[in-house]
Structure 1
Amino acid sequence: MFAKLFLTMVSVSLLELYVLIKVGGFLGAWPTVALVVISALVGSALVRSQGLQVLRQFQERIAQGESPGQQLIEGFMLLVTGVLLVTPGFVTDFLGLLILQPTIRSMVAKYLLANVKLNSAMSGGFYQSSSRTTFGDKKEDGNIIEGEFERKDDNKDH
């Protein structure tokens, strides 16, 4: 795992240097630096606006009682996009701009949601419907204990 990550980082860095040198040789040093800075500023603004949009969608899904899994994945993808766009270079900017496209981001998120198995940090979980909350917790022996509770008002007239 570490070796793959290391090779990826070194490869991307070398590719970025190569492209920056080629573009700098064609446009000149200052226009190349200006392009890198402008792409970081524009990219940051776009990530912020799309991040707010994904947050609204997340809140709507929660309010409707639906799973916000796709919005969580898209939010993480936007976080990665922000890093890509702020990283100096044209290759990472191109990748970041690809992920910024809502249709591409949505397709990738749906694919990941359908094909990647996520392991929960907790052994159990809960879901809420109206005023009842149902819990399920897995014991060490593999049995699941389920239970329900209902909130009662504490302010009773005596």
Structure 2
Amino acid sequence: MRLFGPILVLTLIEIALFITVGGWLGLGLSLLVILGTAVLGSGLLRLQGQRMALDLRQAMNGIGDPLSPMAQRGLIMMAAALLILPGFLGDTLGLLLLLPPVRHMIIAMVGRRVQMHRPPMNDPHRHGVVIDADFVELDEPPSGPPPARRSGWTQD
């Protein structure tokens, strides 16, 4: 329910931009722009998916740090998705995400925000607490039915 308001506002903005920019460009050119950005977005999405898989494979082999290239590729994939969706606002945001300085700024902002919300190392309430312990292997229990136990409720 929280997303209904923003989605409604974005849809109304897209409709208003379609009417305004469509009136200025004309129907044919507007459709050409929308279809052209959709083709560009689908091509980018295919290419970035392949490159992200390659980056992940190289990182797993110990060749490099996967975080920055994967964040870059993820933002490019988001840009491609925005380009595929019809509308001038989504196309504008998608084209902005294709600019490397914009992507670097977004990654830096998200990185700072993640650092701010990270719990301190000595916080006992943080998730992922490691407990150090020793263990002792016990002998296997004998096979067969367990021995009968007295319940304490009966007298023998």
Q: Structure 1 length normalisation: TM-score?
A: 0.62
**2:131 aligned partner, one-letter code:** N
Instruction: Give the match's secondary structure for 2:86.
Output: coil
Identity, % of aligned pairs?
A: 27
**1:52 aligned partner, one-letter code:** Q
Equivalent in the alignment of 1:101: 99
Distance 1:45 1:32 in 2: 20
Distance 2:74 2:118 in 1: 14
Q: Relative to 1, partners in 2 of residues 1:52 and 1:106: Cα closer, same or farther, differing over 3 Å?
A: farther
Mind listing any 5+ residue stretches in structure 1 that lack a counterpart? 125-137, 147-158
Q: Structure 2 length normalisation: TM-score?
A: 0.62
**2:104 aligned partner, one-letter code:** S
Show CA shifts across 1:127-151 (max 9, x none).
xxxxxxxxxxx5xxx62459xxxxx
Count of aligned pairs: 125
Instruction: Give the match's secondary structure for 1:74.
Output: helix
Show CA shifts across 1:93-152 (max 9, x none).
111111122342233224323422589xxx76xxxxxxxxxxxxx5xxx62459xxxxxx
Equivalent in the alignment of 1:143: 131
**2:54 aligned partner, one-letter code:** R
Distance 1:107 1:55 in 2: 24
Relative contact order higher in (CA < 8 Å, ≥ 6 apart): 2
Query: Of Structure 1 and Structure 2, which has the larger fraction of its residues in strand?
Result: 1
**In the alignment, is residue 37 of structure 1 matched against residue 26 of structure 2?**
no
The match for 2:83 among 85, 88, 95 is 85
